[in-house]
């Protein structure tokens, strides 16, 4: 019982990071209809910026939580302006290929700049784990587990609230719903796309800050996070922010439970099997935004 | 008295000339050796999961080569390093062939760990090129014995296995159950094959769990150790794998165990992963008398030298592989020096096999490796291993 509980908590922790990354992916897709395959690269850069601030410059950790999302968000908006704006009239495949190679460029630039297998970032909270008696067993939680889980979920929920209730979110939803109509109502395409990329990339950067202590900083981080975020987003319905959170948590739990009770090396395969099952049974995802109409 | 008739004098001159030209030609044919230069070929991973060995291998060797050349070279010849990237087994064989057959290097250095050393083993044996295996613990490069293959500061898997088992019982003499957390790739597998028989001779139960190279999640393995209530875990893998396993252990209910880390995991880069400058019960062994960050004269000077040559080091550098590559290049230089001016593979192998207690300071270098000795039947240069633990955020060799 205690073992199962610890395993699920471990799954929720990693799932919260996937959820945060998935929300960023969904925000950009909802507002701009672009599937951003460079998202993993932005997560990796977020983790790298955390390393630079916390380890190299020895700044307080809280500064990384504030500055990294702003930096990565600004970089995302800049990439949209420089790379994706000229592709706005191009067909879907061109844009997808553009983001794939943008992601590759970010990873390779990092590889060239940092000649190191892995950069380690310490956890924000260290110290002895918390022991909780559950019947005859003891359940162990680390402070880092609690912080990452609650922190990532809180930020993810705030992101959902901003998109749903603020005027910024309204502009993005309007642009996603009807670009021409939104422009006629006074919304600027450049502004809304820039904001969407800023927000989505900031969430990716923050996912990098949360992921850095448990995964380290390496080019592999880009691929592993974007793959999991993509699966989480698809499970959630791809256009649903709440669905991305549920998809991330579900994916994290399935990965960890399969690692615990089947095999660590099969956890990714089982995640893709979950994705396959969801697409087979409910291709619109678990929480589709668009309602079905029976005519 | 021998009298040479005038007619025969010309014939004698022609014969003497032919002999001289023949000898000169034979000397010129010694690959990688010119009147002014000796080319050392080396291979190792400059990118990928084991670049923590290959990059320091290249950098440490280059430091020693620069120093030796500044001091006048070896018997009047300068050393030149030709380093090829090789990560996979196929790349290692291809790099060895390129260096020996296309680049015509005089001696081949394997700075590649067990995977590359195992892959290149058959080729170097068949070719007979003098080969220095810097890091490979695998028995494939050591058995069968080859007169042209030498091993430096890193001991064989059998020797290091004994050190690992000793560390477990030094830290917890009452250990009854020992976990082995082993990577599925060549180096950890080689060490697993050596550790298991030693543990089976002890009155302990052994629980073996494996992981793939580059793993970051050890849920299933750690839960298995928790269920079995192991007293100690020997980790055979890289520093990042060991670091993340130890870090995740409390989350999986594994607390108060002794951790013993194998060769490449004993690296200062593991400390920031652990997030603790004095983690309790983390032990290992050292192939060098000191760790790179330890405050002793030799390593302090080495760090100065390294920083002067390469600039501010990245996290975890210089590491133990920098030290070994630097120190063992001096050992190789000593073998070349003792072989004299008439350099050939045969003379080098003969001189190398007679080195006794050779150390870098013999040629003006820093003593960052244990003295190495070789015989015609034993090509393992070093068998000493220090007891190591993490103190004040760095690995340190401590008294036994």
What ipTM score was computed for the predicted complex, to two decimals? 0.71
Give CA separation, B25 vs B28, B30, B127, B173, B337, in Å. Answer: 5, 9, 21, 64, 22
Q: Is A37 left (phi over 0), alpha (psi -120 to 50) or beta?
A: alpha
Cβ-nearest to B217 among A115, A216, A267: A267
Task: Decide if A19 is inside a domain.
Answer: yes
Which residue stretches of A166-218 are H helix?
167-177, 179-184, 189-215
Place of tokens 């220090």: B386
Q: Do A256 and B219 touch (CB under 8 A)?
A: yes
Confidence (pLDDT) at B9: 54
Give CA separation, B206 vs A253, B175, B178, B231, in Å. Answer: 30, 11, 5, 10
Kindly calculate the radius of gyration of chain A based on its CA atoms and give it in whole angstroms. 19
Q: From B226, which residue of chain A is nearest by alpha-carbon distance?
A: A3
Tell me which chain B residues have a C-beta less than 8 angstroms from the C-beta of A260: 219-220, 223
Tell me which chain A residues have a C-beta less than 8 angstroms from the C-beta of B181: none
Cβ-nearest to B314 among A116, A129, A216: A116
Closest-CA distance, B350 to chain A, in angstroms, reads: 39
Whether residue B260 contacts residue B233, with contact meaning beta carbons closer than 8 Å, is answered with: yes
Nearest C-alpha neighbor of B390 from the set B284, B288, B237, B249: B284
Interface with chain A: mutation pick from B57, B213, B217, B277, highest number of A CBs within 10 Å: B217
Cβ-nearest to A3 among B223, B255, B273: B223
Structure tokens at B207: 């629980």
Give the range of the structural domain holding residue A187, as residue numbers without chain letter.
2-219
Whether residue B318 contacts residue B302, with contact meaning beta carbons closer than 8 Å, is answered with: yes
B61 pLDDT more than 70: yes
Query: What is the DSSP secondary structure assignment for residue B273, as one 8-state letter?
Result: H
B28 pLDDT more than 50: no
Task: Decide if A259 is inside a domain.
Answer: no
Per-residue pLDDT tens digits for B118-162: 999 999 999 999 999 999 888 899 999 999 999 999 988 888 899
Nearest C-alpha neighbor of B345 from the set B120, B42, B133, B30: B30
Nearest C-alpha neighbor of A175 from the set A18, A31, A274: A31
Q: Are strands B107-110 and B131-133 parallel, antiparallel or unpaired?
A: parallel
Q: Do B255 and A140 touch (CB under 8 A)?
A: yes
Closest-CA distance, B219 to chain A, in angstroms, reads: 5
Structure tokens at B19: 């002999």
Task: Decide if A238 is inside a domain.
Answer: no
Closest-CA distance, B185 to chain A, in angstroms, reads: 14
Confidence (pLDDT) at B20: 45
Closest-CA distance, A42 to chain B, in angstroms, reads: 20
Task: Decide if A25 is inside a domain.
Answer: yes
- The structural domain count of chain A equals 1
Q: Are strands B131-133 and A137-141 parallel, antiparallel or unpaired?
A: unpaired
Residues with Cβ within 8 Å of A91's Cβ and at least 6 positions away in sequence, in order, are none
Distance CA A210, CA A54 (A): 13
The neighbouring-strand residues paired with A217 are: A119
B21 pLDDT more than 60: no
Distance CA A35, CA B230 (A): 47
Confidence (pLDDT) at B6: 52
Per-residue pLDDT tens digits for B337-360: 999 998 999 999 999 999 999 999
Task: Decide if A229 is inside a domain.
Answer: no
- Give me chain B's average pLDDT, please: 89
Task: Decide if A272 is inside a domain.
Answer: no
Distance CA B241, CA B234 (A): 12
Q: Do B253 and A119 touch (CB under 8 A)?
A: no
Q: How would you write the pLDDT of chain A (295 residues) with one tens digit per residue? A: 777 888 888 889 889 999 999 999 998 988 888 888 999 999 999 999 999 999 889 899 899 999 999 999 999 999 989 988 888 778 888 888 989 998 889 988 888 887 666 788 888 887 777 777 777 777 777 888 888 889 888 988 888 888 888 888 888 888 877 778 888 888 888 888 899 999 999 999 999 999 998 888 988 888 888 888 989 998 888 878 888 899 999 999 998 888 888 877 777 788 888 888 888 888 777 777 655 555 5
Cβ-nearest to B214 among A111, A140, A220: A220
Confidence (pLDDT) at B4: 47
Confidence (pLDDT) at B1: 43
Task: Decide if A84 is inside a domain.
Answer: yes
Task: Decide if A109 is inside a domain.
Answer: yes
Q: Which domains does chain B have, with CATH numbers?
A: 37-155+295-384 (3.40.50.2300), 158-286 (3.40.50.2300)
Structure tokens at A32: 């701009």
The percentage of residues in chain B with a pLDDT greater than 90, rounded to a whole number, is 65
B25 pLDDT more than 80: no
Q: Do B220 and A264 touch (CB under 8 A)?
A: yes
CB atoms within 10 A of CB B40: 23
The neighbouring-strand residues paired with A119 are: A217
Interface with chain B: mutation pick from A11, A107, A117, highest number of B CBs within 10 Å: A117
Distance CA B142, CA B138 (A): 7
Cross-sheet strand order for the sheet of B37-44 = B78-85, B37-44, B107-110, B131-133, B149-151
Per-residue pLDDT tens digits for B230-242: 999 999 998 889 9
CB atoms within 10 A of CB B57: 31
Interface with chain A: mutation pick from B182, B265, B272, B279, highest number of A CBs within 10 Å: B272
């Amino acid at each position: 019982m205690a073992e199962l509980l610890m395993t699920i908590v471990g799954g929720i922790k990693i799932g919260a990071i996937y959820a945060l990354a998935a929300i960023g992916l969904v925000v950009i897709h909802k507002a701009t209809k672009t599937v951003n395959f460079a998202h993993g690269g932005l997560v990796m850069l977020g983790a790298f910026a955390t390393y630079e601030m916390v380890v190299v410059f020895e700044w307080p950790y809280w500064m990384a939580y504030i500055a990294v999302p702003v930096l990565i968000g600004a970089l995302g908006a800049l990439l949209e302006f420089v790379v994706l704006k000229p592709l706005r009239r191009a067909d879907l495949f061109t844009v997808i290929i553009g983001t794939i190679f943008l992601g590759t460029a970010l990873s390779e630039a990092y590889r060239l700049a940092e000649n190191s297998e892995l950069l380690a970032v310490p956890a924000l909270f260290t110290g002895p784990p918390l022991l909780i008696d559950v019947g005859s067993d003891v359940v162990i939680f680390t402070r880092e587990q609690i912080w990452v889980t609650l922190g990532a979920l809180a930020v993810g929920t705030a992101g959902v609230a901003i998109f749903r209730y603020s005027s910024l979110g309204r502009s993005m939803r309007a642009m996603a719903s009807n670009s021409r109509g939104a422009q006629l109502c006074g919304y600027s395409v450049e502004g809304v796309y820039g904001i969407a990329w800023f927000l989505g990339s900031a969430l990716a950067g923050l996912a990098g800050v949360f992921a850095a202590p448990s995964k380290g900083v390496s080019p592999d981080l880009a691929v592993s996070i974007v793959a999991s975020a993509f699966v989480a987003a698809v499970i959630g319905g791809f256009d649903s922010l709440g669905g991305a959170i549920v998809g991330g948590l579900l994916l994290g739990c399935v990965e960890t439970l399969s690692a615990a009770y089947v095999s660590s090396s099969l956890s990714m395969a089982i995640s893709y099997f979950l994705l396959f099952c969801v697409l087979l049974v409910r291709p619109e995802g678990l929480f589709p935004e668009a309602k079905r109409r029976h005519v | 008295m021998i009298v040479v008739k005038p007619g025969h004098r010309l014939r004698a001159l022609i014969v003497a000339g032919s002999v001289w030209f023949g000898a000169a030609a034979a000397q010129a044919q010694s690959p990688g050796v010119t009147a002014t230069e000796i080319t050392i070929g080396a291979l190792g991973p400059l990118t990928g999961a084991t670049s923590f060995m290959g990059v320091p291998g290249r950098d440490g060797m280059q430091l020693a080569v620069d120093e030796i050349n500044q001091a006048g070279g070896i018997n009047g010849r300068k050393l030149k390093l030709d380093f090829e990237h090789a990560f996979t087994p196929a790349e290692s064989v291809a790099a060895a062939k390129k260096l020996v057959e296309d680049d015509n290097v005089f001696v081949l250095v394997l700075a590649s760990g067990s995977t590359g050393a195992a892959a290149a083993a058959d080729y170097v044996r068949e070719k007979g090129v003098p080969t220095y295996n810097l890091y490979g613990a695998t028995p494939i490069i050591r058995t069968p014995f080859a007169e042209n293959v030498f091993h430096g500061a890193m001991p064989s898997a059998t020797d290091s296995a004994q050190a690992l088992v000793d560390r477990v019982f030094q830290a917890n003499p009452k250990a009854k159950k020992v976990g082995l957390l082993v990577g599925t790739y060549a180096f950890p597998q080689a060490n697993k094959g050596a550790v298991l028989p030693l543990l089976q001779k002890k009155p302990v139960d052994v629980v073996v769990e494996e992981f793939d190279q580059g793993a970051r999640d050890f849920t299933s393995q750690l839960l298995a150790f928790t269920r079995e209530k192991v007293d100690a875990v020997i980790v055979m893998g890289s520093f990042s794998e060991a670091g993340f396993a130890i870090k995740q252990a409390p989350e999986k209910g594994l607390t108060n165990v002794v951790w013993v880390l194998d060769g490449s995991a004993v690296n200062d880069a593991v400390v920031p992963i652990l997030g603790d400058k004095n983690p309790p019960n983390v032990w290992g062994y050292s192939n060098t008398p000191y760790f790179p960050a330890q405050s002793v004269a030799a390593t302090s000077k080495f760090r100065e030298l390294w920083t002067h040559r390469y600039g501010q080091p990245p996290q975890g550098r210089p590491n133990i592989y920098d030290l070994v590559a630097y120190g063992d290049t001096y050992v190789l230089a000593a073998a070349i020096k003792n072989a004299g001016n008439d350099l050939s593979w045969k003379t080098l192998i003969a001189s190398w096999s007679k080195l006794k207690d050779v150390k870098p300071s013999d040629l003006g270098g820093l003593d960052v490796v244990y003295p190495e000795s070789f015989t015609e039947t034993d090509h393992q240069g070093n068998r000493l291993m220090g007891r190591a633990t993490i103190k004040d955020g760095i690995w340190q060799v401590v008294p036994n």
